[in-house]
Structure 1
Amino acid sequence: MDRTVRPWPALWALVMGFFMILVDTTIVTIANPAILRDLDADLTAAVWVTSAYLLAYAVPLLITGRLGDRFGPRRVYLIGLVVFTLASLWCGFSGDIGMLIAARAVQGLGASLMTPQTMAVITRVFPPQQRGAAMGLWGAVAGVAMLVGPVLGGVLVDALGWEWVFLVNVPFGVVAFLLAWRFVPRLETHVRRFDWLGVVLSAVGMFLVVFGIQEGETFDWGTVVGPITVWGLIIAGVVTLAVFVAWQALNRAEPLLPLALFRDRNFALSNVAISFVGLGVVAMPLPLAFYFQVARGLTPTEGALMLVPMAVVSGVLAPFVGRLGDRVDPKWIAFAGLSTVALALGWYIVLMTPEVELWLLLPPSALLGFGMSGVFAPLASTATRNLSPARAGAGAGVYTMTRQVGSVLGSAAIAALMNARLAAELPGSGAEAVRPADGGSAAGLPPSLAEGFTAAMSQSLWLAVAAFALCAVAVLFFSRPQVTVAWSEEKAGPRDRERAPEEALRAP
């Protein structure tokens, strides 16, 4: 373990890689129309490019957090960064939709190795009174990355082609690796056993649920093969996940999902809240991207520029919100942010018509950024404040996993909802309507299609509104966080290190 720990350089090195993997969660959104056209895919196949990434990202998170505890967060983070960077190169050279989906799955695995280590290092090297500011930076990166992704994607698609939304990660990944190698400390490791049965149950359950939801419209919510139906797959997935939770309760050795963590009320509620945020953030940009590029005929760059106010406002405000969280109950910051996001999306829904002046859609974009700046940092700091160093990796893995589970379900649900609304609003024309002409069209869709297509996209946004509204309700039940024994192992005394692992679980 390093004798001298410099928390802030370590955090800056980690968030560079963290920024890259979160950008990849949303950057594909703006490239989806171009991928759909160039690789001759349908809407469902194009959405699988995102879902495969999110699914491979979410499922291993419980065990990758433990890998950081066992082998050290620095080592696991660097391995994940290498996997992610090489998979990005594979994505960029994919020649068909199947290869791209496979490469995205490997990319998601690399991201899964990296993400829990970021939160674990914050929890282990920052004292509680500085953790809000650290989480402010972490939250700023999370918020800006998930909102900047579409903007960066638009510029790259127009200038160089959709392949470059992946290839840009290669030089970025090399720099991130060098910085992490130099500044991230080697931290004390803890012996961990791995619950492989839990891994299999969670992976199978998640895949069945996501496949059923996302492919339901493809099979007309009927038979998939033989006696197996879409609803049968979804029910089987839910049952498998229930068996997984039961196994975690029965496993006395070292469960993959340590249910004892959920005794802390704030940790439990933060996980509920962040799952809704993950769902909402993924469900939000896809209808907007298709509205701007298909209904209004904007190029990817022009469509992305419509989201610039959101990214700028969120990026500027998020660090200040993080510092505010050390002095103000983060519950109220999160509630204000989430309510504002739901309001901004409702404003979008009201304004979205085929004829609305585009400049009128900029104020709700700015309001959306204002709300998002108050979401990530208070939720993350509330979730991790009571975690002891010995539980940091497991807690970070659980928290990140629940966010990604929400993202996976959001990706599947928005694909199903968009397909359903297109079929209802444009019967017989929905599939062709989502295919933009080469290079876009300044005129957009003809009036006979534009009205129905726009209605389908605005109706699809209600999914994100519901997700953020439910999240706002959940955070109202937070209790005010208290400073606990969760302290940097490098700075805590021997007595603190002995009592830290269990006392955090007895917090009210």
Structure 2
Amino acid sequence: MLAIAIGIAMSVLDAAVANIALPAIAAEFHASPAESIWVVNAYQLAVVMGLLPLASLGERVGYRRVYLWGLAIFTLGSVACALSQNMPTLIVARVGQGLGAAGVFAVNGALVRFTYPGALLGRGVGLNAFVVSVASAVGPSVAAAILAVGPWQWLFAINAPFGIVNFVIGYRALPHSDRGGRPFDLISATLNALAFGLFFVGADAVTHGEGTMTLALAEVIAAFLALAALVRRESKLDAPLIPVDLMRIPIFALSVATSICSFTAQSLALVAMPFYFELTLGRSQVETGLLMTPWPVAVGVAAPIAGRLSDRIPAAILGFVGLAGLAIGMVLLARLPLDARFVDIAWPMALSGAGFGFFQAPNNRTLLSSAPRRRAGAAGGMLATARVTGLAAGATLVALFFRVAPTRAEPIALMVGAGFAIVAAFASLTRLAKR
């Protein structure tokens, strides 16, 4: 579990710290904001395009092997980022980093399942959720501390010693799993990369108004065509890359839908709130950082508790209670007065975070345990894909709201996020009838 925790913490932290370093990177390489944002986008795209193929590869060659190779590629990519001398080189290095992170994300759920006995699986999933929330919470602070004493290259170079140590721990400790005899489906992997890659590039262009609208819409349409071809191909296979076989299991499908909706709700809030605090409520950057802290801290406190409870109480009930709390907290945040005090903001933020944490670990446990053990890799890959898809969808919606209603974008985003949380709550409760 230490090996799993260090790897996933490094991957989550690296997604967060790059945002803080963008101004310094753009200044050093004399790049425009539109060019520098690809330092973030390249990493995210590589992750989302690699998750399901690498989860499928884990079922064939072993989850341990994919995790260790992913960790090694991530570490080498970090070194390449630190040594980059221009923007194109840095973006290519970030793609390599993202592919390595995808290997870590894709199989970490399966490795948790092979580490913990079934009766204690909720504890392992809760610990995993705790690590993710803490890494997300401290990411900006860690980046700020490193940049206070050194150049932006240090943000990437620091991964090298941690990656080497974690590789040694993982090589000695990570569990072995059975390997499938089927060859890797390269055609499906290519269609998967086209579907996810074209969709997120096109959606980002539409919401930000970059390039021609015709080209952006063509990319989105091409993404749906690739997805349709992929699903049609996968429906004929015994162990498909896109787990259409698992989506026929009602509890698994409902858990995936709940996860996507809930992460979309959280992303809507966490992307919109900094603008809300600074532009609408007039808070400083330091105050904004403090006001954002209660959410991930509450997630970190609630997730392990909910994970333990999920070994005894149905996730459908725990998820409904948590998501109802998330919806209430987001509605309260959307209705804050302009003269709101710190405590008036902090407790709805904590309520939202605790609600999300109370949902996340039980839902993840149910999603992983509802799949056959031989398909643990596909279940873990789908878990990570649902998370990334929800986060990307929320960020895209916030960008769209800023484009169509710039003066009311933040409250709209929060209310829409509350709506997603309510939908997720009832999707979670529906699982009681499917047990």
Separation in structure 1 between the aligned mates of residue 11 and residue 167 of structure 2, nearest angstrom:
13
Indicate the residue corresponding to 1:232 in structure 2.
Answer: 218
Q: Residues 474 and 28 (structure 1 numbering): CA distance in 2 closer, same or farther, change over 3 Å? A: farther
Indicate the residue corresponding to 2:95 in structure 1.
Answer: 105
Q: Residue deviations 1:56-99, cap 9 Å, x none? A: 11222222112222222222211111111222233345565554
Is 2:273 the counterpart of 1:284? no
Counterpart residue type for residue 215 of structure 2:
T
Counterpart residue type for residue 415 of structure 1:
A
Secondary structure of 1:59's aligned partner = helix
Indicate the residue corresponding to 2:422 in structure 1.
Answer: 469
Q: 1:56 aligns with which of 33, 46, 61?
A: 46
Q: Residue deviations 1:271-296, cap 9 Å, x none? A: 11222233334443233334556774
Q: Residues 321 and 159 (structure 1 numbering): CA distance in 2 closer, same or farther, change over 3 Å? A: farther
Separation in structure 1 between the aligned mates of residue 190 and residue 392 of structure 2, nearest angstrom:
17
Stretch moving more, 230-239 or 156-165: 156-165
Q: 2:156 aligns with which of 153, 166, 187?
A: 166
Q: Residues 89 and 344 (structure 1 numbering): CA distance in 2 closer, same or farther, change over 3 Å? A: farther
Deviation, structure 1 residue 410: 3.3
Q: Residues 310 and 399 (structure 1 numbering): CA distance in 2 closer, same or farther, change over 3 Å? A: closer
Indicate the residue corresponding to 2:260 in structure 1.
Answer: 275
Separation in structure 2 between the aligned mates of residue 337 and residue 45 of structure 1, nearest angstrom:
39
Separation in structure 2 between the aligned mates of residue 291 and residue 165 of structure 1, nearest angstrom:
28
Indicate the residue corresponding to 2:310 in structure 1.
Answer: 325
Indicate the residue corresponding to 1:244 in structure 2.
Answer: 230
Counterpart residue type for residue 250 of structure 2:
R
Percent of aligned pairs with the same amino acid: 31
Separation in structure 1 between the aligned mates of residue 111 and residue 414 of structure 2, nearest angstrom:
36
Separation in structure 2 between the aligned mates of residue 478 and residue 384 of structure 1, nearest angstrom:
15
Separation in structure 2 between the aligned mates of residue 40 and residue 84 of structure 1, nearest angstrom:
26
Indicate the residue corresponding to 1:311 in structure 2.
Answer: 296
Indicate the residue corresponding to 1:114 in structure 2.
Answer: 104
Q: Residues 479 and 358 (structure 1 numbering): CA distance in 2 closer, same or farther, change over 3 Å? A: closer
More helix by share: 2
Q: 1:382 aligns with which of 366, 376, 399?
A: 366
Q: Residues 462 and 96 (structure 1 numbering): CA distance in 2 closer, same or farther, change over 3 Å? A: farther
Q: Residues 41 and 303 (structure 1 numbering): CA distance in 2 closer, same or farther, change over 3 Å? A: farther
Counterpart residue type for residue 298 of structure 1:
S
Separation in structure 2 between the aligned mates of residue 130 and residue 156 of structure 1, nearest angstrom:
38
Counterpart residue type for residue 51 of structure 1:
N
Separation in structure 1 between the aligned mates of residue 147 and residue 224 of structure 2, nearest angstrom:
38
Deviation, structure 1 residue 377: 0.8
Q: Residue deviations 1:367-407, cap 9 Å, x none? A: 23212221321111111113332111122222222322333
Q: Residues 358 and 104 (structure 1 numbering): CA distance in 2 closer, same or farther, change over 3 Å? A: farther
Secondary structure of 1:351's aligned partner = coil
Separation in structure 1 between the aligned mates of residue 182 and residue 419 of structure 2, nearest angstrom:
39
Counterpart residue type for residue 22 of structure 1:
V
Secondary structure of 1:189's aligned partner = coil
Deviation, structure 1 residue 110: 0.5
Q: Residue deviations 1:241-261, cap 9 Å, x none? A: 1221112113x3643223221
Q: Residues 76 and 233 (structure 1 numbering): CA distance in 2 closer, same or farther, change over 3 Å? A: closer
Separation in structure 1 between the aligned mates of residue 199 and residue 357 of structure 2, nearest angstrom:
31
RMSD between aligned residues: 3.0
Separation in structure 2 between the aligned mates of residue 391 and residue 370 of structure 1, nearest angstrom:
31
Deviation, structure 1 residue 346: 2.6
Deviation, structure 1 residue 458: 4.1
Indicate the residue corresponding to 2:396 in structure 1.
Answer: 412
Deviation, structure 1 residue 214: 0.7
Separation in structure 2 between the aligned mates of residue 293 and residue 28 of structure 1, nearest angstrom:
21
Residues 54, 407 of structure 1: 8 Å contact kept: no
Deviation, structure 1 residue 267: 0.9
Separation in structure 2 between the aligned mates of residue 28 and residue 292 of structure 1, nearest angstrom:
22
TM-score normalised per structure 1? 0.76
Deviation, structure 1 residue 17: 0.9
Q: 1:337 aligns with which of 306, 313, 322?
A: 322
Deviation, structure 1 residue 38: 6.5
Q: 1:223 aligns with which of 197, 208, 212?
A: 212
Q: Residue deviations 1:332-388, cap 9 Å, x none? A: 2112222222322332222274x6444542222222321222132111111111333
Q: 1:255 aligns with which of 214, 236, 240?
A: 240
Separation in structure 1 between the aligned mates of residue 356 and residue 149 of structure 2, nearest angstrom:
29
Residues 271, 402 of structure 1: 8 Å contact kept: yes
Residues 397, 413 of structure 2: 8 Å contact kept: no
Counterpart residue type for residue 477 of structure 1:
T
Q: Residues 303 and 36 (structure 1 numbering): CA distance in 2 closer, same or farther, change over 3 Å? A: farther
Deviation, structure 1 residue 314: 2.2
Stretch moving more, 264-273 or 304-313: 304-313
Separation in structure 1 between the aligned mates of residue 102 and residue 228 of structure 2, nearest angstrom:
23
Separation in structure 2 between the aligned mates of residue 168 and residue 458 of structure 1, nearest angstrom:
38
Separation in structure 1 between the aligned mates of residue 272 and residue 159 of structure 2, nearest angstrom:
25
Stretch moving more, 113-122 or 290-299: 290-299
Q: Residue deviations 1:454-507, cap 9 Å, x none? A: x444444445434333322321211378xxxxxxxxxxxxxxxxxxxxxxxxxx
Residues 151, 307 of structure 1: 8 Å contact kept: no
Indicate the residue corresponding to 1:91 in structure 2.
Answer: 81
Residues 346, 465 of structure 1: 8 Å contact kept: yes
Residues 60, 109 of structure 1: 8 Å contact kept: yes
Residues 329, 348 of structure 2: 8 Å contact kept: yes
**What are the equivalent positions in structure 2 for 1:356-367 lying under 5 Å apart?**
356-358=340-342, 360-367=344-351
Counterpart residue type for residue 317 of structure 1:
A
Separation in structure 2 between the aligned mates of residue 146 and residue 307 of structure 1, nearest angstrom:
11
Indicate the residue corresponding to 1:66 in structure 2.
Answer: 56
Separation in structure 1 between the aligned mates of residue 16 and residue 267 of structure 2, nearest angstrom:
7
Q: Residue deviations 1:125-181, cap 9 Å, x none? A: 433211122222122223333344344344444554655443443333233222212
Q: Residues 464 and 29 (structure 1 numbering): CA distance in 2 closer, same or farther, change over 3 Å? A: farther
Stretch moving more, 308-317 or 195-204: 308-317
Counterpart residue type for residue 217 of structure 2:
W
Residues 313, 366 of structure 1: 8 Å contact kept: yes
Q: Which blocks of at least 5 consecutive residues in structure 1 are unaligned? A: 1-10, 426-451, 482-507
Q: Which blocks of at least 5 consecutive residues in structure 2 are unaligned? A: none
Separation in structure 2 between the aligned mates of residue 322 and residue 160 of structure 1, nearest angstrom:
39
